[in-house]
Structure 1
Amino acid sequence: MRYQVLLSLMLSSQTKDQVTSTSMTRLRQHGLTVGRILETDEESLGRLIYPVGFWKSKVKYIKKTTEILQEQYGGDIPDNVAELVKLPGVGPKMAHLIMDIAWNKVSGIGKDNNGFRISNRLKWVKRNQIPRRHPGGH
């Protein structure tokens, strides 16, 4: 299940929810496990996730991430943000969401640039009050 959370969030980036949902349904029907995705060639995986945004890049991220999960984590996903952000296609915002959904651990807030921009424009926050980077460097 945690692997499915990771992949659904990877697919959701720059993609409408309905497109992500349809792609996830196809992946589940195909067999959404680490082993099954490792067996799936990139062309077939591309057909399963198309038309998610940046689908060609995401195919490569998914394949490489899945290999890493198999080799380094026994097919599971990392249980901390520092290791999650090392995976191809996973940034800090996604890592915090994964921690919350997959591990039920609140590790931080997934910063949303649009939310920040709107909050700033409405003068809910001052620009100099918000750190530019996560204290851990992300």
Structure 2
Amino acid sequence: MAKQMDYQTLREIFTRFQNSEPEPKGELNHTNAYTLVVAVALSAQATDAGVNKATEKLFQIADTPDKMLALGEEGVIEHIKTIGLYRQKAKNVIKTARILVEQYGSEVPNSRAALESLPGVGRKTANVVLNMWWGHPAQAVDTHIFRVGNRSGICPGKDVVAVERAIEDHIPVDFQHHAHHWLILHGRYICVARKPKCKACHINDLCQFEEKTE
């Protein structure tokens, strides 16, 4: 694990990220807060591209909790069976829809605790929704961010909560809103797991990773 970078180095890194991609976006397709919750929950152990393909028709007919309940578990399965763990995910989608209808007036709550209480919605999903839909500076740490954070020294930590805290504690506040998107995209396309593309990396000179590839 690399050591935590100092403030000035972090400011330079995120300035470069911002210059390269001023308005980074999540890659999961959605039309409202509810479809974002469903899409992120479905993305566990699945690719964004795979989820987008599965939800394209699903969200056309069920973009609210009420419509999802009307579709039913078997109807959800028909749309998402190309995604891993689809049976359990379909159960969770229907359970979540029922809770939203019965307890929240069919609206998605905007608190982390309420979101995390929904079936299949963990801390990462809650943080994605809070960040992408309501603009909260919540940090959704996935495997990409965990890898990049620990390799580079941007936000090292022994687990995802520690990495999340490192982002919140150390990354300059004016970069907090987009921080997790920049880190996810960097991990997905440049700082990949097996053979990072260090030659193409625009923070190569600031990164602490000792085994840089040529």
The TM-score with structure 1 as length reference comes to 0.82
1:89 maps to what in 2?
Answer: 120
| 1:115 aligned to which of 139, 145, 149 | 145
When normalised by structure 2's length, the TM-score is 0.55
CA deviation after TM superposition for structure 1 residue 117, in Å = 3.5
Find the counterpart in structure 1 of residue 104 from structure 2.
73
Deviation at 1:123, TM superposition (A): 5.3
Percent identity reads 29
- The amino acid that maps onto 1:111 is V
Corresponding residue number in structure 1 for 2:71: 40
Give the root-mean-square deviation of aligned CA atoms.
2.4
Matches within 5 A, 1:1-138: 1-106=32-137, 108-122=138-152, 127=157, 132=162
d(CA) in 2 for partners of 1:29, 1:131: 35
Structure 1 gaps of 5+ residues are none
Kindly provide the CA deviation profile for residues 8-32 of structure 1, in whole angstroms up to 9, marking residues without a partner as x: 1111221122211111111123232
The separation in 2 between residues aligned to 1:35 and 1:80, in whole angstroms, is: 21
Larger CA Rg, structure 1 vs 2: 2
Aligned AA for 2:103? Q
Letter in 1 for 2:126: A
> Aligned partner of 1:18: which letter?
A
Instruction: Count matched residues.
Output: 133
- Report if the CA contact (8 A) 2:140-2:164 is conserved: no
* Separation in 2, partners of 1:10, 1:120: 25
Q: Which runs of 5+ in 2 are unaligned?
A: 1-31, 166-214
Runs of 4+ in 1 over 6 A off after TM superposition: none
CA contact (8 A) 1:26 1:49 kept: no
- CA drift at 1:126: 5.6
The separation in 1 between residues aligned to 2:98 and 2:156, in whole angstroms, is 43
